[in-house]
Each structure stands twice: as structure tokens, then as C-alpha cells.
Amino acid sequence: MDQRTGDAREDHPPVSRRPPGTLRIGRIAGVDVLVRSSWLLVAALISVMYAPRIEEVQPGLGGWKYVVGVALAVLLYLAVLLHEASHALMAQRYGLPVSSITLHFLGGVTEIEGEPQSPRQEFGVSVVGPLTSLAVGGAAGALFLVMPHGLLQFLVGSLAVTNLIIGVLNLVPGLPLDGGRVLRAVVWKASGDPHRATLVAGWGGRVCALLAIGYPLVASLLFGRSPSLSTYLVAFIVAAFLWSGSTSAIASAHVRRRLPALHARALARRSLAVPHDLPLAEAVRRAQDAQAGSIVVLDASGAPSAIVNEAAVLATPEERRPWLPVSAVARSVAGITFPADISGESLIMAMQRSPASEYLLLDSDGSVFGVLVTGDVDRAFAAGR
């Protein structure tokens, strides 16, 4: 199975995050290619499953038939890598950073650190993978027809069949498959609403999951044969994969629909600017008199340099406050300064990049507008549910 992941685009170079049990085997167009240890299990399964057929095609191989099976597994996963690389290259063409390509038990995943900005981009990045698999399958199929009978023809034929299956299955219109993203692009283009498009494609994935889990029973009714245990197992794994991915997409769409209602300017607390050497007790008194919800510390030149941490103030005994400069309970605004007009998903992603309890908001002219408190954003988001 092929799957792409993505989140809101960040303004820094992508960094590959390598989970435990993952080996880096190279790079394609600057993108790390990773292989999870679960692939070894796949290679072993393919080797064992194909061994009788390999022995039939090329008798007398003995134990070497398992080696040929492993070679076939490598060949098939090279085709999966080509599928994923096409996703990565198309994403880079649209300016979307790509962190890594990972090969695993169910196939591969391309981690794209950004969301397509238009239906066209979504369609292009999504459809290129299945088309690549179909092209590889078609080319291998044509080569199969002109090759002499033997082991090499068998390997090419297996490559052809597998890629054609991968291409067709990944065009199934349901998330998290490529076909689900193609459906999302079409609905997005028709409705103009990317969140609605995600919901439609997510429900498409759930329908596909139900069809997958019911396939063994339907097949037994149509063909009059009881499916094997392995058929039920594969159907369950595929259904679980589809249901999990589609449910996650639906939940994400519901969350993102609420994000546009979050505006930093509307949520900001009124702030009071004070000198950095002012006693904390006096700063708190002035803020109370001005009914300010936050205190901004100014450096010697009069520029905002820090925000007083509310929790730190509450933790400071009142008898110490007259002797403690306000700067002692303040955090530097380096990296936590946002434009006052930031909102929606841009606001959430900026907060995720720079976790803090408070953020300084500046107007377009560089003046201090106020302070945004993380707790206020959380409460506003929860109230919009």
C-alpha cells in the first residue's frame, strides 16, 4: 500500500526523523530513503511463498530458490521506491519540502512536509504514483511477451503483475490511498472547500475498508470456495489500514474547519510595557491599575525584549517581589514574536514550531499590540467544537 503524509508547510529545510529500527540506504533528489526492519519479514514471506513457483519454473535450484525469492522481493520494492520517488519529485516541483521516503511492511510512504496549495497540486502529486506503477507494469508486461520462457521471464512477469495491481489499487477513491487524494482534489476543485473534500475522501476510505473486510465472504458466495485463512488475514490488514487512515483524515478535517475562527488579534491580552529593571511588585501594581492582562519588558533602548511569565509571577512570594527586577521572571521574545494578524492554521503551526506559554504580537508598524496566551487559544479552540 502507498501512503503520503503531510502537514502545513514550514519555512525551514525538512529534517528527516528516523524512527527506531529504520535504516537509511541512500538519497533521491536530496531526500533520504529509509527501510524499516519490517521489510525483512516481507522479503522472507515473499521468498517462502514464491519458492514452489520458482522451483517449478527452474527445477533443481534447491536452496537457491529462496535466494531468488529474496531477489524478487528486492525487485518488487525497487518498483515501490520508484512509485514513492515520483511522489517526492512532483512535490518538490511544486515547492513542497519532502523529508523522507520510507519502505515498510505494507509498501511505502513519502513524508511531505507541506500541504498542496491547490487542487491541481494535490492531483498532480497524488496521481503520479499510480501512473508510474502502471507504466512500470505495462513496460514489464511488454517485455514479458518477447522474452523466452524461464526464470528471468517469471521475474519480469511478477514485476508486471505486481505493479499493475499496485497502480490499480492505489487509484481506489478513498483516503489514505493515492486515489483518495485524487478524489479530494476533484471535490476540492468542484466545491472550493478543501475540508469538505477531505471529509468526502475520508468516507470513501471507510467504504473501501468495509468492502475489503467483506471481500472474502463475497468471493466465497460468487465462486463457491471457502477463502483461506491468509485471505481473511490480508483482508483484515488492508481494511484496518484503510479505516485507520480515513478516520484520521476525517478527524483532521473537522479540526481544520475550526482553525479559521482563531485570530491572534481577537484573542490577545492587553499588555503593559515596563522597563527591565523595574521591581516586580511595581510592575504588577501598574498592570493591575491599567487592567492589563500581560506585561512586556523593554530593554535599555526601549525595544520589547521579554514577556513576564504569569506562572513565574504567581510562584514568587510577595515579600520578594519588591526586591526582584521584573526581567527575572520574564522570557525572551526571540522566536515567539508573531504578527498581530496571524490566524487559523498559520497561527497553530507557528505555535507548534515555537512552544511557549505566551507570545508577543506586533502590529504592522512594529509596535506592541498585545500578548497571546497559549491557554486562551486552547480555550477558544475548545469552545468552537
Q: Once rounded to an integer, what is the mean pLDDT over residues 121-146?
A: 95
Q: 106, 80 in Cβ contact below 8 A?
A: no
Single pTM value for the model: 0.69
- Residue ranges per domain, the chain? 1-171, 177-260, 264-383
Work out the percent of the chain whose per-residue pLDDT is above 70: 94
> What pLDDT, in 10s, does the model give residues 257-285?
777 778 899 999 999 999 999 999 999 99
Look at residues 245, 358, 345, 222 and name the one whose alpha carbon lies nearest to residue 292. 358
Confidence of residue 11 (pLDDT cuts 50, 70, 90): very low
Does the pLDDT value for residue 90 go beyond 90? yes
Q: Is the pLDDT of residue 9 over 50?
A: no
Residue labelled with grid coordinates 521471464 = 153
| Whole-number pLDDT of residue 275 | 94
Partners of residue 2 on adjacent β-strands: 108
Q: What is the mean pLDDT of the chain?
A: 87
Average pLDDT over residues 98-126: 89
| Residue written as grid cell 479540526 | 255
pLDDT at 382: 77
Contact 371, 345 (CB under 8 A): no
**What is the tens place of the pLDDT at every residue in 311-352?**
888 899 989 999 999 999 999 999 899 999 998 878 888 888
Q: What is the pLDDT confidence band of residue 18, given thresholds at 50, 70 and 90?
A: low
Q: pLDDT over 90 for what percent of the chain?
A: 49
Mean pLDDT of 357-364: 91
Is pLDDT above 60 for 119?
yes
Mean pLDDT of 126-155: 94
What's residue 3's pLDDT? 57
Cα–Cα distance measured from residue 87 to residue 109, given in angstroms and rounded to the nearest whole number: 9
Please give the Cα distance from 213 to 52 (Å, whole number): 29
Looking at residue 14, its pLDDT comes to 39
Per the CB < 8 A criterion, the answer to whether 141 and 35 are in contact is no
The SS3 of residue 240 is: helix
Q: Are 377 and 262 in contact (CB under 8 A)?
A: yes
In CATH terms, 264-383 corresponds, of 3.40.50.300, 3.40.190.10, 1.20.1050.10, 3.10.580.10, to 3.10.580.10
| Angle at alpha carbon of residue 220, lines to 215 and 226, rounded to 5° | 115
* pLDDT, mean of residues 180-209: 94
Q: Locate 142 and state its grid cell.
A: 511488454
Extract the runs of DSSP E, i.e. beta strands, from 229-293.
271-275
